[in-house]
A and B are shown apart, each in its own frame.
Chain A
Amino acid sequence: MLSDLPSAAVVLIFLALSLVALIRRVAGFSSRVDAYIHYLWTFFLIFTVSEVVSFNAAIWILAGLCFIALREYFTLTDIRLQDRWGILGAYLSIPFMIVFIQIDWYGMFIISIPVYAFLVIPFLVTLGGKEAEGTVSSIGAIDFGLFMLVYCIGHIGYLGLFSTWMAIMLLLNVAMCDLVAYLIGTSGKLRRGGDVTKYLASTPVTVILMLIMSGWTGIPRDHSVALGLAIPALVGIGRHTISYIESDLGIATDRLVPGKGRVFDSITSFLYAAPVVFHYIRYFLK
């Protein structure tokens, strides 16, 4: 399977990231950049497994990622004792969604969480106890976390089912947006601009990257340009939205501690981009 150049490139990137992560870990760095490298490493682990072993194995690593992100989210939200059944339901809906991706049952994947999980979880919450006060907040909090951190990330998995290279394309573009925004942020040139502006600045980079990759991803040039234009905006909107949620959850983005927003913070760039890019490709190209 490793015969072709692109697959070898994925493995090479994975090994390089492993090396960088290892060095930074040994050196004892612990910053937002480290959290980010860790997250890139996780995704390239998934891609490498997908290329070298099988898609079915890779998708379960993605399930693990969903689990870790959701666990962190539930750690940070204020839950009542009786919400535990609902939260158990949220955790258990991860394997269901993953199985629907595995067997390529699109219709069921797309309704598994927004229809069935969202109907079952409120029921489970009410089964947990008799106290009615706070039920709306609890259901809202559980459903939101499940939607963002499982359903939206699940779209990356389904995109990977179309072709691993489409998923890699999405990851690289999002990572590029984050890199450009990070460079702009640290250079201090763009003090006034909000999140969205910072991310829009990376549009030329993503368009060029999309065009370079169009041979591997199989996306025609016109659609590549459209996606290259859309992704920075989506990432910017996502980052902006999630920044409000982060501050409400009490995530201190300058001091990311495991279990207190490390995974959540690095995965947020995906949350808006993944579903929209997936549905664009499915509508126009499948």
Chain B
Amino acid sequence: MKKFADIFSLRVLIHLILIRPFLKLFFGVNVAGRENLAASDRYIIIANHNSHLDSLLLFALLPARHILNTHPVAAEEYFSKWKPLFKFVDYLLRPIWIARDKKAEDPLKGMKERLNSGHNIIIFPEGTRGTPGQIGKFKTGVGRLAVEYRDVPIIPVFLSGPEKGFPKKSPFPLPIWNQVTVGPPQVFTGDCLDITASLENMIRELSESETANRHRRRKRPKPSFTVAVLGIDGSGKSTLSREVSRALSDAFRVCLVSDRLEFYEHEHQKEVQPLLTEKVREAVGRYAKTAKSLKHYKIPKMAELLLRDHIMGEVQRWYSPDILVLDGCPLINLAAWAKIYKGEYFDTDACSAALRILSGKDEATGKDDTVLAKFPELAALKRFGLASMRLPDAVIMLDVAPSVSVARIKGRGEKRQVHETEEKLAKLREGYLMVCDVVKTEFNIHTRVVDGQAEIGQLTASAIAFIEQGRGKEPDHG
């Protein structure tokens, strides 16, 4: 008789009479592969985690006799925020509570206890509900359990629907069907990391086979990865950016924004229709170079940089290359030039504020901020709606002593521009280094300063490695 009481307790009745019909009638539950679960009496269920419905759905899969001795793993601090909810969940599901902040204790202790006493457990190896519809990286705890309990089969389950029916941050559930796919029970021989990886793979495969034929909304094309090569005049940045573009074009479609627009594919330059803006920019740039004094140089140079920034947008729109290499980044150049014109005001804070304003990320800057007062150019650009310049994804700074670069410029034999003196270039270099420091620390942009006097082949190789590394980094969207 004890057995009967064990099975038909109030808890089981709530599951059978209230929760299961509610899930079926309100949401709809479709199970594929239920036989995989019915075959064994001991198991560890693992599933992807997107919603609070997940645990209830997995309980709805279980045979009635297993309801009382199956326990999901749940985060204690999340549910303990509201006492009645905690009590309700604790009564209904009898979870194994895990305290995420208690580092000292073995987090697997509770699970091992239950497994030792012959009970089954449900684990969400992602650890948290994560981004809806995406499977996160699996934590290794499940692998460690599998190593210790090799005789307990692991059943992978893929849940699709809860991420739409009752996702995170949603105030109410919506009736949306739940598709539950139960994979075949797995027994492993490898080590902890292998097991975790293969389980993650298994869930991913289930997810692909489940959602393959579903229509998806078109995604916006990925913006080009932008690499800026910085340096004062005569530092060799044009040469380096051309070499880098050529080398990268082996695998990608690359566009180089230099004094001319150049496209590279398979290590060769490609002919394309020139853009009209490019012609305008060239003319403005030529005019700027003839300026007799710094005062006359400022406005045409600013216009040239703005046009250059505009060209970056045009290139992305019409040609959408994989990688955009910039011979000098308009936004950073504009900021760094402030060191020459207003060196006395230009410190790290001003630089950071200027970059924020110029890139249009300055919700915090008020109308009468001191930065705007000190740099009226910023206020003007903002007023004319020009302060939305593009920040690069990676920055390479070629650092060269001003004396060296002046010597190089002399060597070219061209007419020297007004700012190409040792004193001005030293200031400009200071400006660049400061901006590099700011974008690295405050804007979290992949940045590296290299010695410009190194050999070009070596520079190119290290730049390519650096760019690959930057591309590999997942963009961080908070």
Enumerate chain A interface residues (CB-CB to B < 8 A).
Answer: 67-68, 71-72, 74-76, 78-79, 81, 84, 87-88, 91, 133-134, 137, 248-250, 252, 257-260
Cα–Cα, bound, A188→B169 (Å): 52
Chain B nearest CB: distance from A160 CB in Å?
A: 24
Instruction: Give Cα distance in the complex from A88 to B173, angstroms.
Output: 9
- A84 near B172: Cβ-Cβ < 8 Å: yes
Decide: A250 near B28, CB < 8 A? Known: A75-B176, A259-B177.
Answer: no
A76 neighbours in B (Cβ, 8 Å): 214-215
Q: Is B164 engaged at the interface, CB distance under 8 Å to the other chain?
A: yes
Q: CB of B161 within 8 A of chain A? A: yes
- In the complex, are the beta carbons of A250 and B214 less than 8 A apart? yes
Report B-chain residues with C-beta under 8 Å of the C-beta of A259. Answer: 28, 30, 161, 177-179
> Chain A: interface secondary structure?
helix
> Which of B170, B176, B213 is A252 in contact with, Cβ under 8 Å?
B213
Asked if A71 and B28 sit within 8 Å, CB to CB, the answer is yes
Residues of B within 8 A of A87 (CB): 174
Separation of A193 and B214 alpha carbons in the complex (Å) = 28
Decide if A78 touches B216 in the complex (CB within 8 Å).
Answer: yes
Tell yes or no: B285 within 8 A of A by CB: no
Given A71-B176, A84-B172, A260-B179: A78 and B30 within 8 A (CB)? no
- In the complex, B295 has a CB within 8 A of chain A: no
User: Is B217 engaged at the interface, CB distance under 8 Å to the other chain?
Assistant: yes
Residue of A nearest to B164 (CB): A79
CB distance from A246 to the nearest CB of B (A): 10
CA of A67 to CA of B167, assembled, Å: 21
Could you say which residues of chain A place their CB within 8 Å of the CB of B161? Answer: 75, 259
Q: Assess the A84–B170 pair: CB atoms within 8 A.
A: yes
Contact of B174 among A68, A84, A249, A252 (CB under 8 A): A84
Enumerate chain B residues within 8 angstroms of A249, measured Cβ to Cβ: 214-215
Report whether A258 and B30 are in contact in the complex, using a CB–CB cutoff of 8 Å.
yes
Rounded to whole angstroms, the CA-CA distance of A72 and B178 in the bound complex is 10
List the 3 closest pairs (A to B, CB-CB), nearest first. A259-B177, A75-B177, A250-B214
* Least CB separation from B24: chain A residue: A258
23 A-B residue pairs with Cβ-Cβ distance under 8 Å, sorted by A, are: A71-B28, A72-B177, A74-B174, A74-B176, A75-B164, A75-B176, A76-B215, A81-B167, A81-B169, A81-B170, A84-B172, A84-B174, A137-B217, A248-B215, A249-B215, A250-B214, A250-B215, A257-B30, A258-B28, A258-B30, A259-B178, A259-B179, A260-B177
Residue of A nearest to B214 (CB): A250
Known: A81-B132, A81-B169, A258-B28. A71 touches B175 (CB 8 A): yes
Which A residues lie within 8 Å of B179 (CB)?
257, 259-260
Complex alpha-carbon distance, A88 and B174, angstroms: 7
**Beta-carbon nearest neighbor of A252 in chain B:** B213
**In the complex, A88→B215 CA distance in Å?**
22
State which of A79, A91, A252, A257 has its C-beta within 8 Å of the C-beta of B175: A91
A64, closest chain B residue (CB): B25
How long is the Cα–Cα vector from A133 to B220 in the complex, in angstroms?
10
Residue in B32, B167, B176, B178 whose Cβ sees the most chain A Cβ within 10 Å: B176
With the chains together, A75 CA to B175 CA distance in Å? Answer: 8
Write out, one digit per residue, whether chain B residues 336-376 have a CB within 8 A of any chain A CB (1) or not (0).
00000000000000000000000000000000000000000
* Assembled-state Cα–Cα distance A259/B30 (Å): 7
- Which of A75, A76, A133 gathers the greatest number of chain B CB atoms within 10 Å? A75
In the complex, besides A71-B28, A250-B213, 12 extra interface pairs with C-beta distance below 8 angstroms are A68-B28, A71-B175, A71-B177, A72-B28, A72-B177, A75-B177, A78-B217, A84-B174, A133-B220, A137-B217, A257-B30, A259-B30
Interface string of B140-184 (1 = CB under 8 A from A): 000000000000000000000100100101101011111100000
What residues of chain A lie closer than 8 Å to B216, measured between beta carbons? 78
Q: How far is the CA of A75 from the CA of B211 in the complex (A)?
A: 12
CB distance from B129 to the nearest CB of A (A): 13
Residues of A within 8 A of B175 (CB): 67, 71, 74, 91
Question: Which of B30, B167, B177, B216 is most buried by chain A, counting CB atoms within 10 A of its CB?
Answer: B177
* Across-interface contacts of A260 in B (CB, < 8 A): 30, 177, 179
Our pick among B28, B177, B178, B215 for the contact of A78 (Cβ within 8 Å) is: B215
Q: Which residues of B contact A257 (CB under 8 A)?
A: 30, 32, 179
Please give the distance in Å from A67's CB to the nearest CB on chain B. 7
Interface centre among B132, B179, B215 (most CB of A within 10 A): B215
Residues of A within 8 Å of B220, CB to CB, are: 133
